[in-house]
């Protein structure tokens, strides 16, 4: 009896399935987007069409076709197809798939493809359990994940799979998705409304189709045409492709820093906003800004460090959302400030010398001479106090083994590095005389 009900449920589910499920592409030609890896003549497309697919991991944001591509493979290839979700799969489920793969291969030589959705949710032991079967060809693994597989998948399993990165759909591609969805439900979607849906979808085809369906149902219930207000109601918040614990976290903070380094305040503020909207820890952001102020600006504008530290203090005192103003002010200042890595290079090179040569003793004239007997050891001999004897500015204070070594090499621009201060001029004279 339970099987009878299950069969009936499967037959009727199509009528109640979300629009995204009902219009899911069934062939590579129907699949929208991903031309960079599935274009005509591409290696991946050929391997699917010629039924010689190898294990791979599909990596990309939600709604870009990972599951759809796996199911297209299932209908295209002659292999047996098994599907599991790492969220709910148990050890018995994996064993059942492996046993079925052995039976197929031994019985009629048929290969087995296992589609494992959310593969990053499998722990190390579960991933290791799949390794022998992938390695000896018992089954072909297609893993799908929204997380960077280089962070989440075991290196041993990763090395036996091709990683295919799928990209968020562009505006034109989403317009095609909207058109197909509207056609499937008989909806009339004006061009301007379709464009709004595409822009609000955030590169996610599933979100676009869900918005089409819900907005049209609302308009239909009112007995009027589909309008932008229906879209606004159906898609109240644009989906954010941001994971503050993984790939997006690193990508956005990298873009933020590089935008400030490239003196692009508009890009810097945008990436700052993206991180804040994505739920990034603002203390992490402001720590990176404090580091940036010394690493990429340094003495080209000494006030940059003061601004960054002030933003950090403001964040602790004010908190979000108001502290976004302080972070924005600081990010714009850092982006517009003159750039120099002289301070950062100085400490990196000095530490490298210490690691390689040890902490060399200071010259005798710089050693502590305050205690009895220090002068007998030669401590302090030859030292000239610059406050009372200008010749003290001419001395080389480095250990004897490093005489003439230059760590701080001021840049040509900025406030304290390019204005011809005496110390900088003296550095240049030393370099010319070396």
Tally of structural domains, the chain = 4
Q: Is residue 9 part of a domain?
A: no
On whether both 294 and 375 belong to a single domain, the answer is: no
Closest C-alpha among 190, 261, 260, 286 to residue 231: 190
Paired strand residues for 113: 81, 140
Reply yes or no on whether the pLDDT at 125 is more than 90.
no
Closest C-alpha among 84, 26, 73 to residue 49: 73
Burial class (CB in 10 A: 0-12, 13-18, 19+), 74: middle
Among 182, 210, 234, residue at a domain's last position: 234
Range of the domain at 181: 171-234
Phi, psi of 86 (to 5 degrees): -65, -15
Instruction: Give the single-character DSSP code of 362.
Output: P
Among 213, 234, 255, residue at a domain's last position: 234
Helix (H, G, I), strand (E, B) or coil at 231: helix
On whether both 191 and 227 belong to a single domain, the answer is: yes
Q: How confident is the model at residue 173 (pLDDT cuts 50, 70, 90)?
A: very high
On whether both 51 and 158 belong to a single domain, the answer is: yes
Per-residue buried b or exposed e for 414-423, using 16+ beta carbons within 10 Å of the residue's own CB: bbbbbeeeee
On whether both 113 and 64 belong to a single domain, the answer is: yes
- Of 187 and 269, more confident: 269
**How confident is the prediction for the chain on average, in pLDDT?**
84
The predicted pLDDT at position 434 comes to 35
Q: Is residue 17 part of a domain?
A: no
Q: How confident is the model at residue 284 (pLDDT cuts 50, 70, 90)?
A: very high
Burial class (CB in 10 A: 0-12, 13-18, 19+), 358: exposed
- Of 378 and 74, more confident: 74
Q: How confident is the model at residue 1 (pLDDT cuts 50, 70, 90)?
A: very low
Region 405-410: what's the mean pLDDT? Answer: 85
Sheet holding 140-145, edge to edge: 80-85, 112-117, 140-145, 56-59, 162-165
Q: How confident is the model at residue 16 (pLDDT cuts 50, 70, 90)?
A: low
Among 145, 165, 185, residue at a domain's last position: 165
pTM for the model: 0.62
On whether both 136 and 208 belong to a single domain, the answer is: no
Region 163-168: what's the mean pLDDT? Answer: 91
Q: Are 48 and 72 in contact (CB under 8 A)?
A: yes
Query: What does each C-alpha distance from 38 to 10, 33, 88, 161, 179 come to in angstroms?
Result: 31, 8, 30, 17, 22
Domain containing 310 — which CATH number?
1.20.272.10
The predicted pLDDT at position 335 comes to 95
Helix (H, G, I), strand (E, B) or coil at 110: coil
């Amino acid at each position: 009896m339970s099987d009878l009900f299950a069969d009936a449920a499967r037959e009727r589910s199509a009528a109640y399935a979300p629009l995204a499920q009902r219009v899911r592409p069934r062939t590579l030609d129907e699949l929208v987007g991903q031309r960079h890896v599935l274009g005509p003549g591409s290696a991946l497309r050929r391997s699917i069409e010629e039924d010689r697919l190898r294990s791979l991991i599909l990596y990309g944001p939600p709604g870009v076709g990972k599951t759809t591509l796996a199911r297209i493979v299932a209908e295209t290839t002659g292999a047996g197809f098994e599907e599991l979700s790492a969220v709910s799969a148990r050890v018995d489920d994996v064993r059942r798939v492996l046993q079925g793969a052995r039976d197929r291969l031994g019985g009629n030589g048929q290969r087995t493809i296992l589609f494992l959705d959310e593969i990053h949710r499998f722990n190390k032991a579960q991933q290791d359990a799949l390794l022998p079967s992938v390695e000896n060809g018992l089954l072909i693994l297609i893993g799908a994940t929204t997380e960077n597989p280089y962070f989440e998948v075991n290196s041993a399993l990763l090395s036996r799979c091709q990683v295919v990165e799928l990209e968020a759909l562009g505006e034109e591609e989403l317009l095609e998705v909207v058109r197909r969805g509207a056609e499937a439900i008989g909806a009339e979607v004006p061009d301007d409304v379709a464009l709004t849906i595409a822009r609000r979808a955030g590169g996610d085809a599933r979100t676009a189709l869900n918005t089409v369906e819900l907005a049209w149902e609302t308009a239909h219930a009112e007995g009027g045409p589909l309008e932008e207000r229906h879209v606004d109601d159906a898609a109240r918040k644009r989906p954010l492709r941001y994971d503050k614990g993984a790939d997006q976290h690193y990508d956005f903070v990298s873009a933020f820093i590089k935008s400030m380094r490239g003196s692009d305040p508009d890009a810097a503020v945008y990436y700052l906003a993206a991180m804040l909207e994505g739920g990034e820890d603002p203390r992490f952001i402001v720590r990176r800004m404090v580091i940036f102020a010394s690493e990429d600006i340094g003495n080209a504008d000494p006030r940059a460090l003061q601004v960054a530290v002030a933003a950090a203090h403001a964040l602790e005192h004010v908190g979000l959302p108001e502290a976004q103003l302080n972070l924005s002010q600081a990010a714009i200042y850092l982006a517009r400030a003159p750039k120099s890595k002289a301070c950062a290079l100085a400490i990196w090179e000095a530490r490298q010398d210490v690691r390689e040569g040890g902490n060399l003793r200071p010259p005798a004239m710089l050693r502590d001479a305050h205690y009895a007997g220090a002068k007998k050891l030669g401590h302090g001999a030859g030292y000239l106090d610059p406050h009372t004897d200008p010749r003290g500015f001419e001395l080389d204070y480095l250990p004897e083994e490093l005489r003439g070594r230059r760590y701080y090499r001021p840049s040509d621009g900025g406030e304290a590095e390019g204005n011809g201060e005496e110390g900088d001029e003296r550095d240049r004279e030393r370099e010319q005389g070396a």
